[in-house]
Structure 1
């Protein structure tokens, strides 16, 4: 049975003249993309062996996609630590995965060089000219373009995707070649939900990828290319450039995290940009504020679909575009997918009463193959086929899931627990609060105190106004000890709120 990469290349080869990739001023047709993959695979053959892992230091470039496909064709796995991590963290990932080969994109040399300087392993092979170092792309120019096939074994690792690192050093999550095959079958079963990113069966899709291709962006790019669409790559997310690309390239589909949607809403170009081409804006990866999502639907249109899933678990639930017309549902993550079973449990793993709060366990059929070389952590996370998500949730009488917090982000205060997501949503109900982040700081008695950071609009509220709102709506236990007004909430490289960085920034401020 062909691998997902072979199926993708076959789909591209079937229509070689169509525009496949757009990056800066480059426009790459499908046939050119296929030839580039096979030529690079011939150059790497022998250097890259089946069953090994290759580390890729690259950003959102065509070369990153070509390198990943070429490595997978040779039966090897790929690990691409995203550029939003520190050089030390990226170097540690390369060491963790025991990379047999390191590929570095010359386009990202400034970010790759500090990583390589921390490694004692094999010298990098460069994708593009980099001084006197070997340039495998130049070698590939003279290599044959004949297909390389059948190197991958079903149970070998195809990809190691690392978590965002918001609660510690990123964990490596492994997917085998067989896992990706099962994923394609699962997507075919879910076609029509309107929450999978647009691509399956949609040959006219034009996908804008401004989040890392090392994560969700790469998966959606593959799906769009395989179904006859075009992928427009941006080096990173900047709201003005994003909006300009939507209008210029007539973008139909994209994926964003909620904090990035808020930045679009707050950008002065939004209301003068033609976004009429958009058919699907899938969002997920972080909690979404109901008031701001209602604003997004009103200003951009009924194109939003929320998809809740985890790197460890796969897809869990969806809130369709039609359901976004009901404001009372915008505080949920939708209903479980038809392929997903859920259980909400207490601290001992026992089911809670209907409507009760507890940790969400899921069984999706698309669970990870395990954490990279961490069997004990894998066994603690995947129990009899159930993934412990670490999310605190409840399910209402209509079947909609409400995410209340991460288990690790719950703030233990005197008298109970404060759920950070609930408090963030409450603060953002104030019309002058554009974004909010809530976190706990350890106290001397073993509990924590609640603190909030707020991005304010105009007119800006004062701290007393916000704490009074919280006291009235949620009670004194939820009232933050301090509310700091900041210009921007720091985000991780994949677009989630970076509470570690936020704590550090606020701690460094003079008092």
Structure 2
């Protein structure tokens, strides 16, 4: 049995109860179940079957949530396509994923060709869910090529544990094609909760309104979103029963503020595209009189193995990806172990603490998205007058980090505005540099690589 079977069971009972809300659309359980089968029939009619890849380039709508389910219902390979990449990276992602089809909704249809989501539904043909499926998520890569993490169904009991949670009114703040958004949608559907979808671009005003109007009592944030809500003049009071925050480093001061505002309901999670649910620091274990409990990301998931090797966090278990699409599986290359790229340690009580990322990924933006600095470095040196380039993350109170460039020029003056415009045009808004420093040379490690850790240290 997969999660799709359990979701169908939920949607088959109490049919008039609301299941999905987004924009002007409100679907009951019965309506959601009907549309799920109609979307699956539309895919099947177009030739999609077990193992076929379907790239979904969609926003936060009830139809998009059910589309994702429909792909898994048919046993397909669901490929999440995020909106952040620029044109060249987006094209490379689609080509690398080797998909049979691309489905787009109207919000994103101007950037990529594909089947339009609104044209997809056909007949409400009831189907037994396929026993296997795959989810493929974009992670980018230090080689400059997009990487695609492949996950198979988790059959270890995590699904059953989620299904056993109480029904609540969930508000999804991040895109459902991102880890936290997909997780929020799955939890809500498995528990028979009402899932309210925030806009594809987060807006604190909208969050405050929806929290009030839809009586929201459960939500998932990435830190910058939570900060904006906490700073909002109409920030909700203690109406939540569960708040989960993760996706990028969380400032202890802000976690304390959230707990003081909403009560002991704020849980700090740690995971990534390649390895879901590595750890969780439950709200009940956070003690405001013990600052260390505000820093830890909690004890590792009991279903996973976690080891610290030379300071790096390694994980193995059912929520760790099978491997990257087009590359050998982890079971062949590392006996199933995955190096998270984060540096940390476990204390005597088994709590995990993260010190720094060993990779050079910059986590930025209001949705804590990844900027892959190597991709940016390689593009910058194609611009006139730039000999060498190194992009690093500069700490920022609002966004976690912002992109800062260190450039070595050929001696002529460079137009910073032109550089910024060129980056946005090629790679997208997320890669926009917020600062530029011209240097005579870049620091190097002993093996001749650019020492980005030294560059980051200049901001401390």
TM above 0.5 = yes
Tell me whether 1:237 sits opposite 2:202 in the alignment: yes
Aligned to 2:259: 297
2:84·2:430 contact (CA, 8 Å) conserved in 1? no
For residue 115 of structure 1, give the secondary structure of its aligned residue in structure 2. Answer: coil
d(CA) in 2 for partners of 1:172 and 1:46? Answer: 27
Distance in 2 (alpha carbons) for counterparts of 1:81 and 1:364: 25
- Is the CA contact (8 Å cut-off) linking 1:174 and 1:372 kept in structure 2? yes
Tell me, in whole angstroms, the C-alpha distance in 2 between the residues paired with 1:451 and 1:246. 32
The answer to whether the Cα contact below 8 Å between 1:78 and 1:160 also exists between their aligned partners in 2 is yes
Distance 1:165 1:501 in 2: 14
User: Partners in 1 of 2:54 and 2:21 — Cα distance?
Assistant: 25
**CA offsets per residue over residues 288-324 of structure 1, 9 Å max, x none?**
1111111111122221001112222232221110222
1:18 is displaced (CA, Å) by 0.9
In the aligned structure 1, how far is the partner of 2:437 from the partner of 2:22? 39
1:395–1:92 Cα change, 3 Å: same
From 328, 345, 356, the equivalent of 1:394 is 345
Contact 1:88/1:115, CA 8 A, preserved across alignment: no
| Partner-residue secondary structure (3-state), 1:342 | strand
Query: Which residue does 1:81 correspond to in 2?
Result: 81
Find the aligned partners of 1:268 and 1:232 in 2 and give their Cα distance: 22
> TM-score if structure 2 supplies the norm length?
0.75
Counterpart for residue 34 of structure 1: 33
Q: Which blocks of at least 5 consecutive residues in structure 2 are unaligned?
A: 365-370, 378-387, 399-427, 439-460
**Corresponding position: 1:146 with 2:125:** yes
| Residues in 1 aligned to 2:308 and 2:397: alpha-carbon distance in whole angstroms | 33
Query: What pairs up with 1:419-458 in 2 under 5 angstroms?
Result: 452-455=394-397
Distance, in Å, in 2 between the alignment partners of 1:450 and 1:56 is 30
The offset of 1:31, in angstroms, is: 0.4
2:94 alignment partner, SS class: helix
Task: Give the match for residue 231 of structure 2.
Answer: 266
- Give the TM-score normalised by structure 1: 0.68
The one-character-per-residue Cα deviations of 1:84-125 (angstroms, maximum 9, x if unpaired) are 33343333222111121121212x1xx222222xxxxxxx22
Aligned residues: 386
SS at match of 1:505: strand
Task: Name the SS of the counterpart of 1:254 in structure 2.
Answer: strand
Q: Distance in 2 between matches of 1:261 and 1:222?
A: 21
Structure 1 residue 455: Cα displacement: 4.5
**Matches of 2:268 and 2:294 in 1, distance apart?**
9
1:343 counterpart residue number = 307
Cα distance in 2 for residues equivalent to 1:125 and 1:361: 40
Does the CA-based 8 Å contact 1:209-1:234 persist in structure 2? yes
CA distance in 2, matches of 1:174, 1:325: 37
Matched residue, 1:174: 150
SS of the aligned residue for 2:151 comes to strand
Going from structure 1 to structure 2, the CA distance change for 1:225 and 1:76 (only over 3 Å counts) comes to same
Q: State the Cα distance separating 1:162 from its structure 2 match.
A: 1.5
Are 2:313 and 1:360 equivalent residues in the alignment? yes
Q: Is the 8 A contact 2:268 2:282 kept in 1?
A: yes
